[in-house]
Structure 1
Amino acid sequence: MDQTETLPDDTLANVLRRLPPCAPAAPRCVRRTWCDVVDAHRLLLPHLLPHSLHGIFINYVDYRRPHCFARPSAQKPAIDCNLDFLPGYAHDYKPIADHCNGLLLYRGRTDLLYVANPATRQWEDLCRKGGDYKWNPYLVFDPAVSPHYEVFSIPYVPEKVDLAQDSMEWPPSSWMLDVFSSSTRQWCKRSFLRQGEAMGTVANARLDTLRQVWSGARWRYSVYWRGSLYVHCRGAFVARLSLSDGKYQVIKLPNIAESERERYLGKSEKGVYLAIMADDTVHRLWVYNLVESSEQTDWMLKYHVDLEPWASAWLDNLKGFDKTWTLDGEGDVKKAQEEARCSLEYDDEDEGEDDDGEEEEMLMGGNPEWNSDNDNVLDLEDDRGGFSHYIDFLGFHPYNEVVFLGLSFKVVAYHLKTSKVQYLGNMRPSDYYLLQTNGIYESFPYTPCMIGELQKHTSRSSH
């Protein structure tokens, strides 16, 4: 018999309380009674788990590295999202591939995968998976359950080889996936059995064409929610992988009458959401919430938004909007420029220091924290322009029904419940040369997490 079973809950809690701050996540996975003790005594500190949005990681078209577009914050120590400690990150034109609960998946040189935690500045590389590269990696990490993560390899729809293959159902009834586990440091085969119908045939899946894009997501997104991984797959469906029992379900996507440009899967206030953007001539947005019950699973249309007025909004030279989000590294450049300017204007050192402090307080409104309800609210009547912007969908706010949109590199937050729009700032890097092909590929809302031990650590960024 396990000797811990004879311990009173309070005694066991005192033992677990002596562990490092993030360690109680592991005992939660050992046995149900331990999980109950950890939760009842709040041993897993809430502030260590993902609970707030820090910013959005962005992959740019023809640009040397990703950037994090982050909200102003007085948090100490500050989170440094410059990941130049990753091999090749600063100059190899490689992308962030996924994000899940504070961990980032980075696709480095020769498609070697790395996992990094910007909040703790820890990282590690994954051993190579054998075979070809006809798959997309998706990250799963739930720090409230385990300090370990997994990476799922979702294969491409098979290329056309013969007519017999065209008639095969897709996805197959038994779907064999390669999965990397940080606990074993190995890739292994894991079979998922389909519950319910397939999407159709392989030939049907190919009808969902992989368009050649000059901007926009090059692969499709995933969501981890309540023990399941939801992956947007080619074939106009979402695969819901239940990680506890090795089963999966095909969830077909809703159809709309108007021409679609792209679909985006994400997590928000009530779980799994789907955004559908119409083509550039319509500028409309549909937002669905996935409703699941024991009887059925269905997409519920929650919002239908006309974005046409904002497609022509003029967001250059806005007045009074000094407290804006910034790109990692860009704030240091601006601060250095401001300090240089102040040193020329003020001869008296003491007076200059006082004025600098007053000026900084004025620029940040006396409070550097971003107010997600009241800061930088736009009045459309004052901001109409004479041309139409290309609108990028940057992602969902993970905790509120808010979507982030890019209007020619100017970022706004659109509150779906109230139609309020806030100006966040400019997401264009200062050294991003002006070309017709400028744009963004993928974007990932980032929620910091202080839990999860990775193999390597870098103390600070080398800007």
Structure 2
Amino acid sequence: MDDPQQAETAPPEDAPARPLLHSVRGVFLNYIGHWRPRFFARPSARPAGAPDYGDLDFLPDYSRGYNSILDHCNGLLLYGNAWLYCVVNTATRRWERLPRMDANNYVPYLVFDPALSHGYEVLLFRREPDKPKKFDLVEFLSLLDDMSGVEEDAENEDQDEPAVEPLPRQSIDDLHRLTEWPPSQWTLPVFSSATGEWRERSFVREGEAVKTMASMQQPMEWGPRWRYSVYWRGALYVHCRGAFVARLSLLDGKYRVFNTPIDFEESKHACPYLGKSEKGVYFATIHKYNNLLRVWNLGESSGPIDWVLKHTIELDESTLWAAARFYQHEINGPWILEDNNNDDVEEKMVPLKENIECNSDDDNVMSNQGGCEEQYSHIYFLGFHPYKEVIFLRLSFTGVAYHLNSSKVQYLGKLHPKDYCTAYSNGIYESFMYTPCMVGELSETPP
């Protein structure tokens, strides 16, 4: 493995980008009601000129306003808001601003494969499918037949004076929302770094559409997102509400929709998470009431798409908290929140090793064998390790790593910014595992 202390240079323009190391260098965190994202990582001594991955001060409005990390894909970050999109590489400290796009009703996804090219794309998904503008009579009556609770009782009424009861307004709204989704041709606004502009791109559906209420199928929602995406082998997988995953192939312009391993009713009681790990696309859930962790891997090698259950683990919440309490009495953690513990960073600086990420050999580790009897708040996902079967979790504002194959628990550190008030409604909004990549073609550089 290459020495990470060696100087990195940008690849030739006609060559694929070169990934740095297959490792997690930290986690970018968005906080509810907080003024900017934070970077959670292991502090390390860096040679002069080496990148500080968490330093985004060179971005427009980073030090003011409430912009967020919107997505991450293979070393590139998407930063901004509905009117400002910037694609950023913190390893090279280069960035570029995308043409202005009113995307208030959309959620963006960034796709980038450094093994193939320097180019990237940003796809916009509507928060809710478009409502049909009008219905013809045949379609209207067919939709009425599909609505539960609609009964024909005209035969029981006076034939001379039939009683026609107007359709409630709520039912009319439901009829407008009861649409085929996604359509046979799904058209999205897409920005391509190759063209430098936004264009519409259509994807043709393979297989059947999902026939359910649109409010259950929309790919995203306001507030903390419990869905994420995965870019894997030329396809973008998007977790949609209503227990579906949409797979869009950027290679052939086709897409299909399939079920998650759990149904819609179960998703109300189990926190779901779509991510990428050692063997591709993973789906995980933590049940809200008994902390049952289940992890599936998506099988696509042969035959139909199918979810394969890999792990069923009863998380001992007291063990996770015991690990945290045991080690935080001695140290704040092997990882710190940047700009949060600057007063003791110097004491934490360690020589840069080949692997400065989550490592079960030299970080504090304990087995999942029970701890104290106290029970605390729910367990939430931070993300999957993209190259190992390790899952990052948080208990309130405490970060831990759980090794799925060995049931080892690692205390990582505290996730609470010092300038962030503690309130019932506050918390971590989103989290993105960061894996650096050296890419040199982004146009802007810090002043």
1:265 to 274, 295, 300: 274
The two structures have a TM-score, normalised by structure 2, of 0.79
Does residue 250 (structure 1) correspond to residue 244 (structure 2)? The answer is no
Q: What displacement does 1:210 show?
A: 9.4
Sequence identity (%): 48
Report the AA paired with residue 85 of structure 1. Answer: F
Q: What displacement does 1:230 show?
A: 0.9
1:58 to 29, 33, 36: 29
Instruction: Check whether the contact 2:52–2:90 (CA below 8 A) recurs between aligned residues.
Output: yes
Q: What displacement does 1:399 show?
A: 0.3
Q: What displacement does 1:427 show?
A: 1.3
Instruction: Check whether the contact 2:319–2:368 (CA below 8 A) recurs between aligned residues.
Output: no
Q: In 2, distance between residues paired with 1:395 and 1:124?
A: 27
Does residue 189 (structure 1) correspond to residue 197 (structure 2)? The answer is no
Mapping of residues 148-187 of structure 1, within 5 Å = 148-158=119-129, 165-187=176-198
Structure 2 gap segments, 5+ residues each: 1-7, 133-172
Higher relative contact order (Cα pairs below 8 Å, separated by 6+ residues): 2
Does residue 126 (structure 1) correspond to residue 98 (structure 2)? The answer is yes
2:372 to 379, 384, 387: 384
Secondary structure of the structure 1 residue equivalent to 2:400: strand
1:70 to 38, 41, 48: 41
Instruction: Check whether the contact 1:98–1:106 (CA below 8 A) recurs between aligned residues.
Output: yes
2:236 to 219, 229, 236: 229
Tell me which residue corresponds to 2:162: none
Q: What displacement does 1:213 show?
A: 8.3
Instruction: Check whether the contact 1:221–1:264 (CA below 8 A) recurs between aligned residues.
Output: yes
Q: What displacement does 1:312 show?
A: 6.9
Q: What displacement does 1:410 show?
A: 1.1
Secondary structure of the structure 1 residue equivalent to 2:343: helix
Mapping of residues 193-342 of structure 1, within 5 Å = 193-201=204-212, 203=213, 205-207=214-216, 217-218=224-225, 220-255=227-262, 260-279=269-288, 281-310=289-318, 313-314=321-322, 315-316=324-325, 318=327, 319-321=329-331, 324-335=334-345
Secondary structure of the structure 2 residue equivalent to 1:406: strand
Does residue 143 (structure 1) correspond to residue 130 (structure 2)? The answer is no
Tell me which residue corresponds to 1:372: 359
Q: In 2, distance between residues paired with 1:232 and 1:57?
A: 20
Q: What displacement does 1:123 show?
A: 1.2
Deviation per residue, 1:202-260 (Å, 9 max, x gap): x2x4235899987xx33621111111111112332111111111111112111268553
Instruction: Check whether the contact 1:57–1:443 (CA below 8 A) recurs between aligned residues.
Output: yes
Q: In 1, distance between residues paired with 2:276 and 2:52?
A: 22
1:441 to 429, 432, 443: 429
Q: In 1, distance between residues paired with 2:250 and 2:314?
A: 38
Q: In 1, distance between residues paired with 2:90 and 2:42?
A: 15
Secondary structure of the structure 2 residue equivalent to 1:330: coil
Secondary structure of the structure 1 residue equivalent to 2:107: strand
Secondary structure of the structure 2 residue equivalent to 1:456: coil
1:405 to 387, 393, 412: 393
Q: In 2, distance between residues paired with 1:321 and 1:60?
A: 24
Q: In 2, distance between residues paired with 1:157 and 1:311?
A: 41
- Tell me which stretches of 4 or more aligned residues in structure 1 moved more than 6 Å: 209-214, 364-368
Tell me which residue corresponds to 2:67: 94
**Higher mean Cα deviation, 372-381 or 187-196?**
372-381
Does residue 428 (structure 1) correspond to residue 416 (structure 2)? The answer is yes
**Higher mean Cα deviation, 153-162 or 417-426?**
153-162
Seen in structure 2, the aligned counterparts of structure 1 residues 301 and 373 have a Cα distance that, compared at 3 Å, is: same
Seen in structure 2, the aligned counterparts of structure 1 residues 284 and 90 have a Cα distance that, compared at 3 Å, is: farther
Deviation per residue, 1:130-187 (Å, 9 max, x gap): 5x62221000011121111100011233366656644431001110111001121100
Report the AA paired with residue 27 of structure 2. Answer: I
Q: In 1, distance between residues paired with 2:244 and 2:216?
A: 12
Instruction: Check whether the contact 1:283–1:307 (CA below 8 A) recurs between aligned residues.
Output: yes
Deviation per residue, 1:239-290 (Å, 9 max, x gap): 11111111111121112685534211111000001111212x2212211110
Seen in structure 2, the aligned counterparts of structure 1 residues 211 and 388 have a Cα distance that, compared at 3 Å, is: farther
Aligned length: 391
Instruction: Check whether the contact 1:313–1:380 (CA below 8 A) recurs between aligned residues.
Output: no
Instruction: Check whether the contact 1:73–1:370 (CA below 8 A) recurs between aligned residues.
Output: no
Q: In 2, distance between residues paired with 1:365 and 1:191?
A: 50
Report the AA paired with residue 226 of structure 1. Answer: R
Report the AA paired with residue 147 of structure 1. Answer: H
Q: In 1, distance between residues paired with 2:231 and 2:201?
A: 18
Q: In 2, distance between residues paired with 1:153 and 1:239?
A: 14
Secondary structure of the structure 2 residue equivalent to 1:316: helix
Instruction: Check whether the contact 1:179–1:188 (CA below 8 A) recurs between aligned residues.
Output: yes
2:78 to 96, 101, 105: 105
Q: What displacement does 1:24 show?
A: 4.3
Alpha-carbon RMSD across the aligned residues, in angstroms, is 2.9
**Larger helix proportion of the pair:** 1
**Higher mean Cα deviation, 384-393 or 285-294?**
384-393
Report the AA paired with residue 372 of structure 1. Answer: N
Tell me which residue corresponds to 1:11: none
Seen in structure 2, the aligned counterparts of structure 1 residues 382 and 296 have a Cα distance that, compared at 3 Å, is: closer
Does residue 396 (structure 1) correspond to residue 356 (structure 2)? The answer is no
Q: In 2, distance between residues paired with 1:91 and 1:334?
A: 26
Instruction: Check whether the contact 1:82–1:329 (CA below 8 A) recurs between aligned residues.
Output: no
Report the AA paired with residue 28 of structure 2. Answer: F
The two structures have a TM-score, normalised by structure 1, of 0.77
Q: What displacement does 1:383 show?
A: 4.7
Q: In 1, distance between residues paired with 2:302 and 2:251?
A: 17
